[in-house]
Structure 1
Amino acid sequence: MMRTLGWTVATLLFLSGPLVIAGDFAKEDWPQWRGPNRDGKIAVFDAPETWPASLIKKWEVVVGAGDATPALVEGRLYLHTRQGDEEVILCLDAESGQQIWATKYPSPPVTGPASRHPGPRSSPAVADGKVVTLGVAGIVSCVDATSGKLLWQNKDFKGTPRFFTAMSPIVVDGHAILQLGGPDSGTIVAFALATGEIRWKWEGEAPSYASPVLLTIGDEKQIVTFTEQSLVGLSAREGKLFWRVPFPASGRNYNAATPIVDGQTIYFAGAGRGSRAIRVEKSGDEYVVRELWTNPDVAPQFNSPILKDGKLFGLSQRGNFYCLDAQTGKTLWLDDNPYTAFGALLDAGPVMLAMTERAGLIVFPPSGDGLHPVGKYEVSSAPVYATPVVAGKRFYIKDSESLSLWTLP
Structure 2
Amino acid sequence: MASETNKKPLIQIKDLYKVFGKKSESVMPLVREGLSKDDILAKTGHTVGLKAINLDINKGEIFVIMGLSGSGKSTLIRHFNRLIDPSEGQILVEGIDVMKLNTKELEIFRRKKMAMVFQRFGLMPHRNVQDNVAYGLSVQGVDKATRAEKAKQWLETVGLAGYEKQYPSQLSGGQQQRVGLARALCTDAEILLMDEAFSALDPLIRSEMQDQLVELQKELNKTIIFITHDLDEALRIGDRIAILKDGELIQLGEPVDILLNPADDYVEAFVKDVNRPRALTVSTVMKPPAYRLTAETIGGALEEMRRIPANYAYYMTDDGFQGVVCEKALENAAQSDEEGLMEEFKVEDMSSLSPDAPLESIIPETMKSKFPLPVVDDDGDLQGVLSREDLAEVLSGFNRVETDGETQIENNDK
Whether TM-score is above 0.5 comes out as: no
TM-score range, shorter chain: under 0.3
Point out the structure with the larger strand share.
1
Length-normalised TM-score, structure 2 = 0.25
Length-normalised TM-score, structure 1 = 0.25
Point out the structure with the larger helix share.
2
